[in-house]
Amino acid sequence: MARITSAFAIGLIFGLGLLVSGMANPVKVLAFLDVTGHWDPSLLYVMAGAVAVSAIGYRVARRRGRPILAPRLEIPTRRDVDLRLITGAAVFGVGWGLAGLCPGPALTILTIVPAPSATFAAAMIVGMLLVRLVPTAAAKPSAAQGSDA
């Protein structure tokens, strides 16, 4: 129950942060992305603050050895850059640039501006389901693992 309560509280704080900072406002996000026009750099401060808080959190969690509400610390170990990562980043960037929304803010504003954000959220969910159909390099046996063929 503590994990569900803390997840809810953290999600609520995150959503409020997105609203207060302007990250859930597509017009503000598109102005931030318009570096050759009427650029609004204010979201740089939001991102810098998020990176700083995240860095502190990771440092504390690593020093402690395990999270407070989980059995173990799960930090990704994969460092390779493959076509799947590049394609995903490109699709994310194009979607962000066209709509001025990314997943967190899109879900945050569903209750405020339902029509456009619901369309974005539906497309995002379809994309998340479709990506499961794309094979991953990890699922394929490599030559080093050998094969029985």
List the chain domain ranges: 2-138
Between 148 and 105, the higher pLDDT residue: 105
41 in Cβ contact with 22 (< 8 Å)? no
**In one letter, which amino acid is 134?**
V
DSSP conformation class of 38: S
- Residues 93-109, mean pLDDT to the nearest whole number: 86
Q: What is the pLDDT of residue 147?
A: 44
Q: What is the pLDDT of residue 107?
A: 85
Q: Is the pLDDT of residue 141 over 70?
A: no
- Residues 35-42, mean pLDDT to the nearest whole number: 91
The pLDDT mean for the chain works out to 84
Rounded CA-CA distance 67/72 in Å is 6
- Residues 139-149, mean pLDDT to the nearest whole number: 47
Select from 41, 24, 45 the least CA-distant residue to 32: 41
In the structure, what pLDDT confidence band is assigned to residue 51 with cuts at 50, 70 and 90? very high
Query: How large a percentage of the chain has pLDDT more than 90?
Result: 22
Buried b or exposed e, range 51-87, using 16+ CB within 10 angstroms: eeeeeeeeeebeeeeeeeeeeeeeeeeeeeeeeeeee
**Which token pair is 38?**
């009427």
